[in-house]
Chain A
């Protein structure tokens, strides 16, 4: 009865579910699941509607009598995949509701953001690589997309480039070439009419880059070789270099993505001025390993370095001294600024690394944009978040294994 009730309420879903195998129905009959289903009807219908509609409508296809062997094989694979995806989607939704209940929040308004937060809270992980940490994502993000049928029931391909093996890729190349041709024609036309080119029609690609090979593969849903990727870039560069390339901006933009990390250019603090009228910048929280400290830079100066009240001889070894002076020498500011540091905790390499970062971070206010970029490329503005790795029982170090001995 519950099941009936459920069916009435979620008409859309049921339509999709009916043709499914018995196992799904059987599963639906279990009270807990039914209950959940009942409970979540509204959400499921709204959120899953497009997902389910996107799935291949194999049912209608299978009713046709005459189908090719290729089509048959494809249909079988598609069916299995759809089923699998459906199951995953279902489990994901249930899991999400459980998670919401565990966290004491409203399951109806529990979004993916909340899921991520809950997972991070419930399964805290110290694994360095974020990709290796526990996660719970909707199945369509976890499992790679698959192509829909590329041919009809009779086995005839839809796409005119099907037999190249990589229709999307070659279609892209074809479009690019066509665009180039069109732009040439347009240019000829302009010249013939002796018209002046549009002054503000200019393609600005400063803050974006071409998609990487992996990203392009994701977009095309096709594996491409390095050579093919190089060809893609070659053609697109050619396209962009044309004078009227701004006319096909939409096409170009599809294959470019914005360049990240331009933001620190905006956050550079303005130096304050002390009683002597010297500009100074203090950077707090200079960290590396276990060392913590702050760095003050004063300009103009004479290259005097003070570390905890001592000069550079605070560090005994050459490496640490080089670490400290590297940002100064790199920017050529070694005689123009004074440096004061207070640092504690950790050992010499940690302390010198922290000071290095602090000096580089403070120097941002005293160098021009070009140098800033070079500093970033040199890795001076990047924090080193590595920590000491713990020793493991049964072996002499974090990674070191005992000496191998036959017996």
Chain B
């Protein structure tokens, strides 16, 4: 047993230089670390991504590998350097990540999210928009909105998101400088007074699920105001953003009327957030083929996936393509998988896998699984 662990240790150290980097802070990542894996701390992962944020297959992989290692890739580096270089006093800049299925958009987003967390941003992160609009589990709860006529609320989803928001911004919410600007009256007895800290608002949404959607709406307004007034800087990350613009959702009202995305209160809230009428913020969204049904997956380009409406909504934005692995990234990934015993066999296997997976990260991972 001991000898075995020694062997593992020896192997890890012998290959450490080829595919791993000890620089675990995304802010310090540069071209030098490109293609190398860095490890996220488990506590951090739990804080940032326990309610979603990593793709499911990646979650399984982290469980198998007993560590969360993310590759430092060019799009994330570009994005981080852009964010560093941008002037936060200007209206928020929108970045759109796009790329083929399985090329690592969500993981790039996670990498950038880690950076934002480290840099002290207030994080507004939607792990997967389709979770709200396209996934209909048995316990999905829908109700007609009390405040907006003709709109649909998703109270459970909104409450779950508030919990996610709370856990991601634990430290920032504790600080006292985030205050609600005006009084909100929810019912005869319940109200949130002006000047009370932001986390009471969040708590209220979590405790009174009925008002969760309204709380989200208000919260977003507050966040926009707070960051415009330099109280905090805000990082908005929305994965699968194009789902907001697909003409239909899979939701239907009790009267069997199909619901359009525009008729969901959460949609309106988050579309408000992605307008650039506020400052001191960064907005990163992804346009993903997997967020829409099969009949609208012919191209991965943002114009096609976002439709004209979404494109005009985001315009102007900075498109960032997340591509397949290049030679260096592929070799480093092979090294990592070999280290984790995810890939075994003779070196000829690699050439073949490179062909069959066409250097697509997700396909590569899938195809290594049985090897």
State the CA gap A334–B356 with chains docked (Å).
13
The answer to whether B358 has its CB under 8 Å from any CB of chain A is yes
Of all chain B residues, the one with the shortest Cβ separation from A311 is B358
B355: Cβ under 8 A from any A Cβ: yes
Question: Within 8 Å CB of A321, what residues of B?
Answer: 355-356, 358
For residue A318, which residue of chain B has the nearest CB? B356
Q: Mark A170-189, 1 if CB is under 8 A from B, else 0.
A: 00000000000000000000
Known contacts A325-B355, A325-B356; can you find 7 more A-B pairs with CB under 8 A? A313-B360, A318-B356, A321-B355, A321-B358, A322-B355, A329-B352, A334-B351
Contact with A along B322-348 (1 / 0, CB 8 A): 000000000000000000000000001
Tell me, in angstroms, the Cα distance from A322 to B352 when the chains sit together: 8
Contact A313 B358 (CB under 8 A): yes
User: Please, which residues of chain B bring their CB within 8 A of the CB of A329?
Assistant: 348, 351-352, 355
Determine if A28 is an interface residue (Cβ-Cβ < 8 Å). Answer: no
Q: Which residue, B348, B352, B355, has most C-beta atoms of chain A within 10 A?
A: B355
Query: Quick one: which of B346-371 are within 8 Å of A by CB?
Result: 348, 351-352, 355-356, 358, 360, 367
Cα(A312)–Cα(B354), bound, Å: 11
**Is B367's CB under 8 angstroms from A312's CB?**
no
| Contact call A322/B351, Cβ cutoff below 8 A | no
Q: Which residues of B contact A334 (CB under 8 A)?
A: 351, 355
Cβ of B358 and Cβ of A318 under 8 Å apart? no
Tell me how many residue pairs across A and B have CB atoms closer than 8 Å.
Answer: 24
Set B100, B351, B367: member contacting A318, Cβ < 8 A: B367
Q: Which residues of A contact B358 (CB under 8 A)?
A: 311-313, 321
User: CB-defined interface of B231-259 with A at 8 Å, one 1/0 digit per residue?
Assistant: 00000000000000000000000000000
A212 to B358, CA, bound (A): 47
Query: What does the 1/0 interface line of A298-333 toward B look like (CB < 8 Å)?
Result: 000000000000011100001001101100010000
A301 to chain B, nearest CB (A): 15
B contact residues, range: under 10
Interchain CA distance A329-B346 in the complex, whole Å: 14
Classify the interface of chain A: helix, strand, loop or mixed: helix
CB distance from B331 to the nearest CB of A (A): 14
Give the chain B neighbours of A313 by CB distance below 8 A: 100, 358, 360
Q: Tell me the smallest distance from the CB of B302 to a CB of chain A, in Å.
A: 19
Ranked 7 nearest A-B pairs via Cβ:
A325-B355, A321-B356, A318-B356, A312-B358, A313-B358, A322-B356, A321-B355
What residues of chain B lie closer than 8 Å to A312, measured between beta carbons?
355, 358
A-B contacts, 15 of them at CB < 8 A, read A312-B355, A313-B100, A313-B358, A313-B360, A321-B355, A321-B356, A321-B358, A322-B355, A322-B356, A325-B352, A325-B355, A325-B356, A329-B348, A329-B351, A334-B351
Alpha-carbon distance A313/B360, docked complex (angstroms): 10
User: Which residues on A sit within 8 Å (CB–CB) of B348?
Assistant: 329
Give the residues from 138 to 184 in chain B that come closer than 8 angstroms, CB to CB, to chain A: none
How far, in whole Å, are A329 and B352 apart by their CA atoms in the complex? 8
Question: CB-nearest residue of chain B relative to A322?
Answer: B356
Q: List, in ascending order, chain A residues with CB within 8 A of B360's CB.
A: 313
Residues of chain A contacted by B351 (CB below 8 angstroms): 329, 334
Give the Cβ gap from B164 to chain A, nearest Cβ, in Å.
34
Task: For B355, list chain A residues within 8 Å (CB).
Answer: 312, 321-322, 324-325, 329, 334
Residue in chain B with minimal CB distance to A328: B355
Closest approach, in angstroms, between the C-beta of B310 and any C-beta of chain A? Answer: 26
Instruction: Give A335's nearest chain B residue, CB to CB.
Output: B351
Bound form: Cα–Cα A378–B147 in Å: 73
Instruction: Say how far A327's CB is from chain B's closest CB, in angstroms.
Output: 12
**In whole angstroms, how far apart are the Cα atoms of A318 and B355 in the complex?**
9
Of the listed residues B100, B356, B358, B360, the one surrounded by the most CB atoms of chain A closer than 10 A to its CB is B356
Which chain B residue has the least Cβ–Cβ distance from A303?
B355
State in angstroms the CA–CA spacing of A90 and B100 once bound together.
75
Output the least CB separation between A326 and chain B (Å).
9
Q: How far is the CA of A258 from the CA of B89 in the complex (A)?
A: 88
Please indicate the chain B residues that have their CB under 8 angstroms from the CB of A322 in the complex. Answer: 352, 355-356
Residues in A with CB closer than 8 Å to B100 are 313
Which partner residue on chain A sits nearest B360 by CB separation?
Answer: A313
Across the two chains, which residue of chain B brings its CB closest to A319? B356
Question: Which residues of chain B are near A318, meaning CB under 8 Å?
Answer: 356, 367
CB neighbours (8 Å) of A311 from chain B are: 358
Q: Which chain B residues border A324 with CB–CB below 8 Å?
A: 355
The listed residue with most A CB atoms (<10 A of its CB), out of B100, B351, B360, B367, is B351
Q: How far is the CA of A64 from the CA of B167 in the complex (A)?
A: 119
Nearest chain B residue, comparing its CB with the CB of A317: B356
Assembled-state Cα–Cα distance A313/B351 (Å): 16
* A318–B357 alpha-carbon span in the complex (Å): 8
Q: Provide the residues of chain A in CB contact with B356, threshold 8 Å.
A: 318, 321-322, 325
A-contacting residues, B18-40, CB 8 Å: none
The closest CB in chain B to the CB of A332 belongs to B351
| A177 → chain B closest CB, angstroms | 51
Chain B's nearest CB lies how many Å from the CB of A308? 15
A318→B369 CA distance, assembly (Å): 14
A329 to B351 Cα, complex, angstroms: 8
A242 to B356, CA, bound (A): 53
CB distance from B299 to the nearest CB of A (A): 12
CA distance in complex: A311, B351 (Å) = 16
The 0/1 profile, CB within 8 Å of B marked 1, for residues 4-48 of chain A is: 000000000000000000000000000000000000000000000
Measured CA separation A237–B360 after assembly (Å): 56
The minimal Cβ–Cβ distance linking B354 to chain A, given in whole angstroms, is: 9
Residues on the B chain within 8 Å of A325, using CB: 352, 355-356
Would you list which residues of chain B between 276 and 313 have a CB under 8 Å from chain A? none
Chain B residue nearest to A321 (CB atoms) is: B356
C-alpha spacing A131/B360, complex, angstroms: 50
CA distance A329 to B356 in the complex (A): 12
Q: Give the nearest-CB partner of A313 in chain B.
A: B358
CB distance from B359 to the nearest CB of A (A): 9
- Min CB–CB distance B328 → chain A (angstroms): 16
Closest Cβ of chain B to A74, distance in Å, is 67
Give the distance to chain A from B201, nearest Cβ to Cβ, in Å.
Answer: 47
* Bound complex: CA A324 to CA B360 (Å): 17
- Cβ-closest chain A residue relative to B355: A325
Q: How far is the CB of A317 from chain B (nearest CB, A)?
A: 9
Q: In whole Å, how far is A335's beta carbon from the nearest beta carbon of chain B?
A: 9
B356 CB, min distance to chain A CBs, angstroms: 5
Give Cα distance in the complex from A321 to B356, angstroms: 6
A228 to chain B, nearest CB (A): 45
CA distance A99 to B348 in the complex (A): 61
C-alpha gap A325/B348 in the complex (Å): 13
Q: Within residues 124 to 148 of chain A, which ones have a CB less than 8 A from any CB in chain B?
A: none
A115–B132 Cα gap in the complex (Å)?
A: 77
Give A322 to B351 CA distance when docked, in angstroms: 11
A334 to B350, CA, bound (A): 13
Map CB proximity to B onto A85-108 as digits: 1 under 8 Å, 0 otherwise.
000000000000000000000000
Cα separation A325 to B355 with both chains bound (whole Å)? 7
Q: In the bound complex, what is the Cα–Cα distance between A329 and B360 (angstroms)? A: 20
